[in-house]
A = this chain, B = another copy of it.
Amino acid sequence: MIRIITAQLDVRPGDIRENWRRIEEEIRRAKEARADVLVLPEMCLTGYLIGDLWDQSAFLRECEACNGRLAAASDDLIILWGSCAVDWDRIQDDGRVRKYNAAFAAAGGHFLFPRRSRRPYAVKTLLPNYRQFDDRRYFTSAAVLAAEEGRGLSDLLAPFDLPTKDGPVAAGVLLCEDSWDENYAVRPMDLLAAQQPDLFFNLSASPFTLGKNEKRHRMLTAALSRLGVPMLYVNCRGLQNNGKDCYTFDGMTAAYGRDGRLLGEAAPYEEARSAFLFDREARKLSPEVPMPPHEGDLLLAALRYGLSHFLEDIVASRAVIGVSGGIDSAVNAALYRSVLPADHLLLVNTPTQFNSETTKGLAADLAARLGSPYVTLPIGGFVDETARALASVVIRTREGERSLSPTSFMRENIQARDRSGRILAALAASFGGIFTCNANKTELTIGYATLYGDMAGALAATADLWKHQIYALGRALNDWYGEAVIPEGTFTIRPSAELSDAQAVDRGLGDPLVYDYHDYLFRSFVEPWQRATPEDILRWYAEGTLEAHIGTPLAVKDLFPSAAGFIADLEKWWKLFAGFAVAKRIQSPPLLAVSRRPYGYDLRESQLAPYFTDAYLALKEQLLK
């Protein structure tokens, strides 16, 4: 029996020195635990989402040097790891030095070579280039390399023979996407399986997405049972970003038997070293100790982990949160409070004449329940003063004098900017921390927010959640605390921006959205693999299948008695989503990504004029007849 230890390392992107230090520690522990094999995740030295840092030769040399140190440290312990391999003698398509996303193995202080390979590493074959992934921007695939060298891909995709104390173990080492082969012409697991591996390893740097692990289980169970090879899946932990989108990595190391069955799974987001036993003769893999399945809310775990990691990474330990009494700011406050000490949070209510006693009371109540300092800073005077300054301006042109008169809508935006860009920003600097953006995905979709106002902040922690998910997260947070830190009233009042008389919660006035419908409509614009447009929506509406297609719990007929009303609503929001809201998103803060399509670098957007297809216009005309 050989003993395999997996380390779901918290990889710090771009920080090779720190990652090497963490890896050294894992090696020390594995040796201490008398492991035969230590398995580390993909890109464990450099991190995975590091943008165009791959253009820096010095960074590549540093990575290479650490690959060498890792091999030298192998000793009796066999080590498998993912890292960048550089071929300084070749270029890639972009004219830069050739780089591979590679899997390494070492034993006895030396690199191991895959069978028949001239290179001391295996090259990743499937390079994802969708969503947040840009592998083909940076790396050359094994398929390209094979074609270039006039060899078959199986020549390159060969197992490593690991020299274990029980004899050689043929290890088929895959890198992340290599196992997500459903849409590719090439199937790396099949090619490797044909070479009789004893065991698959999948080294991953796989960002968390709601529902993705379940999909992985289904997919791997199907593939492995067909191929009859067991697998150890090792994913990193940590928080990595591409600027706009911050992704958590959940770890969740998993073992699958040769029948494809999930044998055990490590706890998400936890520093976990798992030990597995492998019987080479029987090709039988088993966890050394039982691995109980994870319990609890994985979304909340992802957000709490991501948030605390983000704050740590930017060396911030204090936050100022504007709390209005509404659900978005309450959820953000409770979320931050779950990772920061009470006194490191400053909750600020900045009312004007439009804020109701109800919501002001809810904000104060929230602060009391969270035990954090709470300040009320009315901003009506500032807003009046800004408006007065504006009114005092006289513009002299050739045609004569002109003065400016801010409309009520402009006054709403002035309020929002005075609140965030002016007061919260200054408060945060004095308090010694950040201030937060409490946006949700619904308002981000249509730009129902003010730039430099409520769209400002160091992080928009909940901006990848639709409004109905914000409510659910509020409930999950109250469960997590074991008490209602978010007051019940915050769940039940009508959501409202309270920026004018037209948005008075006590009179039931508020946001111009029916979240149980619009959340789902907007989601269909953004998250499906083939994204919906007004043409699709209107066709489904005409067919009577819209509810089923977008998943809203409401009956569209009840909301919109006439086609004209339905169409006016659809066009209003589509124009904002595809138009001005894009301009706002360009300047929005980073967010914690959890969905299958967060705004930012995952859903890539150009500022364009909103478009309606000819087919849409024809169908509309028909429906309005």
A interface residues with partner B (beta carbon < 8 Å)? 12-17, 47, 49-53, 55-59, 61-62, 65, 91-97, 126, 128-130, 134, 136-137, 147-148, 182-185, 240-244, 246, 313-314, 342-343, 346, 373-375, 377, 382, 385-387, 389-390, 393-399, 404-406, 410, 413-414, 417-418, 420-423, 425-427, 429-431, 451-452, 456, 458, 529-536, 582-583, 585-590, 601, 603-609, 611, 613-616
Contact = CB atoms under 8 A, between A and B. Distances in A.
Contact of A394 (B56, B128, B375): B375
A69 B137 CA distance: 35
A368 to B, nearest CB: 11
Contacts of A240: 606
Given A96-B529, A242-B604, A393-B430, 19 more contacts: A12-B609, A13-B606, A15-B611, A55-B531, A58-B533, A58-B613, A58-B615, A95-B529, A129-B129, A129-B137, A313-B609, A314-B583, A373-B395, A377-B389, A387-B426, A390-B427, A421-B421, A421-B452, A458-B583
Given A130-B137, A422-B386, A397 B343 contact: yes
Report, nearest first, the 6 A-B pairs whose CB atoms are least far apart.
A421-B421, A404-B430, A14-B608, A94-B130, A58-B535, A421-B452
A486 to B, nearest CB: 21
A52 B346 CA distance: 39
Nearest to A379: B389
B314 A607 contact: yes
A126 B93 CA distance: 9
Given A390-B430, A425-B417, A616 B58 contact: yes
A53 B587 contact: no
Contact of A533 (B56, B421, B425, B529): B56
A413 B128 CA distance: 42
A154 B183 CA distance: 26
Contact of A606 (B182, B242, B393): B242
A422 B342 CA distance: 31
B56 A608 contact: no
B587 A607 contact: no
B406 A241 contact: no
Contacts of A147: 147, 185
15 contacts: A17-B611, A49-B606, A58-B615, A129-B136, A129-B137, A134-B137, A243-B606, A313-B607, A314-B583, A373-B396, A374-B396, A377-B393, A451-B456, A456-B587, A586-B590
